[in-house]
Amino acid sequence: MISKTFRGGIHPYYGKELAASRETEKLPLPDQFFVSLEQHIGAPVKLLVKKGDEVKAGQLIAEAGGFVSANIHAPTSGKVTSTDPVDHVSGRKVPAVTIKADGNDEWVDLEPVDSPESADPKTLLDAIRRAGVVGMGGASFPTHVKLSPPDDKPIDTLILNGAECEPYLTADHRIMVEKPREVLLGALLEARILGASRLFIGVEDNKPDAIKALEDEVEGLQLPENIKEISVVPLETKYPQGSEKQLIKAITDRNVPVKGLPMDVGVVVSNVATCYAVWDAVYNGRPVIERIVTVTGRGVVEPGNYWVRIGTPVSHLIEAAGGYEDDAAKLIIGGPMMGFAQGTDAVPTMKSTNGVLVQTRDEVQGPDFAPCIRCARCVEVCPMNLPPFLLAAAAEAGRYDVLDQDVLFSCVECGSCAYVCPSRRPLVQFIRMGKAYFRGQKKGK
């Protein structure tokens, strides 16, 4: 079988063997949770609890502040001890609910949807919205919004993103191996809501066990009548295969236009962990308060995968993974290509936290960089066909006047360019600077 792919990209050391075969374990609950109130893209949430309140697991503690927003629920039962800001992945401090767990883990009554296979799309969407499901692959876009495209954008194809091209991370891999049925049932619900007739599950070919597990499930699946085509599509193991536009190109050969969205070409892409959350929300009425997180890297003693309640401090996760190695030097939320380096492990997990990576001192590169020698490596690997060296140089020099915004904002910040630059130039950082400049300008107007 030939695996599909896109133009450009890189083949970094994947490091998946550290955790790929480690079955997901339930992480013991910590004493304290820090539930961030900034866990999605869109309008801020409205806080519903205050200091001193008792909460139960699954209880709504912050309500969506609009259509493009997402509910947030308590991860366990206990007492709200503070609503002061805490550390956030972004490095800022943002509003959060601190909950002291009472250890009983008592749940609110859950309301699953009756006979989900025949329930109407509105009911399904509402269940998804209530559960606070967002894109779990890292984008954090509210799922009920993604599943409600405008009428003039008919969707014929739903793509499940199981590429997991980020090196080291295995959370999506594990959910496909361990919960293939739930993932597919969730996907069928999404397809029905969208009215899509084709369902593709894209998986990089370095995960043959996931491909097999999904194919076996697809076989035994009772297909609703809207689905005319369903298949698991092996993809070449190449970064950033899981980037939305590259995935769509590889599987459907459609080009999402610059500034456009997948729905402009009749496609919606949904991460496999998101599908699982959709299944959980509809079949069990369970809100998103738990997800799989990979704890990995040479800097932790025992890499593995864990079912983690949202709001668990990263330090607690590290402890479960046997603690730090002595030479641990860098803590990253997410993967090594697009993840965020953290100053402290007090930072809590969120709905989009798919991994925690700890690098050792010798894996960390210094801040020194040299001038661009025009070697063209960045041009060769850019999946968006951009000239990264030029964008970065213009931003570095403050020459925003020569930057074409459509080109600049085409950059998906995948990091491929910086990964191959022999002068070690922080290309993505410069490009982000350029984007920030134009965003600031827009706001200023």
Partner 1 sequence: MKMGERKFIISSSPHIHDGSLTPRIMWGVSLALLPATLVSFYAFGWDAVRVILVSMVSAVVFEAIALMLRNRRPRQAMDGSAALTGLLLGLTLPPGISNAMIMVGTFVAIIVAKQVFGGLGQNPFNPALTGRVFLLIAFPAPMTTWPLPRDLTSQISSLKSFLGLAVERHADVVTGATPLGAVKEHMLKALPHINMGDLFFGLHTPGSIGEISALAILLGGLGLLVARIINWRIPLTIIATVFAVAFLYYLAVPPKVSGMSPVSAAFYMAVFHVFAGGLMIGAFFMATDYVTSPIFPKGQIIFGIGVGLMTIIIRLWGGYPEGVSFAILLMNALVPLIDRYTMPKPFGWVDRRA
Residue ranges in contact with ligand SF4 by CB under 6 A: 372-378, 381-384, 386, 388-389, 411-417, 420-423, 425, 427-428, 431
87 vs 190 by CB, closer to partner 1:
87
Judged by CB under 8 A, the chain residues 86 through 105 that form the site for partner 1 are 91
Helix pair angle (427-444, 388-396), 10° resolution: 60
Which of ligand SF4, partner 1, none sits in contact with 45, Cβ below 5 to 8 A by type? Answer: none
Strand order across the beta sheet in which 60-63 lies: 46-47, 60-63, 72-73
Across 83-165, where does the E strand assignment appear?
86-87, 93-94, 96-101, 157-162
How near is the Cβ of 90 to partner 1 at its closest, in Å? 12
- Residue 191 vs 318, nearer CB to partner 1: 318
Distance of CA 374 to the CA centre of its chain: 33
Residue numbers 353-372 binding partner 1 by CB under 8 A: 357, 359, 363-365, 367, 370-372
Interface residue with partner 1, options 202, 413, 434, 435 (CB under 8 A): 413
**Closest of 383, 390, 417 to residue 404, by C-alpha:** 390
| Side chain identity, residue 290 | E
Q: Which of 48, 110, 426, 437 binds partner 1 (CB under 8 A)?
A: 426
Nearer to partner 1, 45 or 358 (CB): 358
- Strand bridging mode 229-235 / 60-63: unpaired
Positions in 320-349 near partner 1 (CB under 8 A): 324, 328-332, 334, 336-346
Q: Which residue in 173, 179, 249, 298 binds partner 1 (CB under 8 A)?
A: 249
**Amino acid identity, position 35:** V
CA distance 182 to 280: 8
Among 31, 385, 399, 436, binds partner 1 (CB under 8 A): 385
Partner touching 318 among ligand SF4, partner 1, none, CB below 5 to 8 Å by kind: partner 1
Which is nearer to partner 1, 24 or 359 (by Cβ)?
Answer: 359
Does 16 participate in binding partner 1 (rule CB under 8 A)? no
Q: How far is CA 293 from CA 1, 209, 352, in A?
A: 31, 19, 9
Q: How far is the CB of 314 from partner 1 (least distance, A)?
A: 9
Query: Least CB distance from residue 157 to ligand SF4, whole Å?
Result: 23
Q: How many CB atoms lie within 10 A of CB 323?
A: 15
Which residue is it, tokens 């919606």?
A: 268
Listed residue (263, 73, 234) closest to 154, CA to CA: 263
- The minimum distance between CB 145 and partner 1, in angstroms, equals 22
Site mask, partner 1, residues 30-69, x = CB under 8 A? ----------------------------------------
Q: Least Å distance between CB 435 and ligand SF4?
A: 10
Nearer to ligand SF4, 113 or 420 (CB): 420
Q: Which of 137, 186 has the CB closer to ligand SF4?
A: 137
Residue 203's contacts (CB-CB under 8 Å, 6 or more residues apart) are 162, 163, 176, 210, 211, 214, 232, 233, 234, 235
Closest separation in Å from C-beta 102 to partner 1: 22
Q: Which residues contact 254 (CB under 8 A, 6 or more apart)?
A: 248, 265, 266, 267
Question: What is the smallest separation between the CB atom of 199 and partner 1, expressed in angstroms?
Answer: 23
Which one, 331 or 427, has the nearer CB to ligand SF4?
427
Tell me how far, at minimum, the Cβ of 87 lies from partner 1, in Å.
10
Pick between residue 294 and residue 416 the one whose CB is nearest to ligand SF4. 416
From the list 319, 325, 327, 396, which residue makes contact with partner 1 (rule: CB under 8 A)?
319
Nearer to ligand SF4, 333 or 386 (CB): 386
Closest separation in Å from C-beta 178 to partner 1? 27
Total Cβ atoms within 10 A of residue 365: 10
Q: How far apart are CA 381 and CA 238, in angstroms?
A: 11
CB of residue 390 to ligand SF4, shortest distance in Å:
9
Residues β-bridged to residue 235 = 4, 204
If the CB atoms of residues 166 and 413 are measured against ligand SF4, the closer one turns out to be 413
Q: Tell me the C-alpha to C-alpha distance, in Å, between residue 98 and each of 53, 132, 311, 329.
A: 11, 19, 9, 28
- Cα maximum dimension of the chain: 63
b/e per residue, 157-181, with b = 16+ CB within 10 A? bbbbbbbbbbbbbbbbbbbbbbbbe
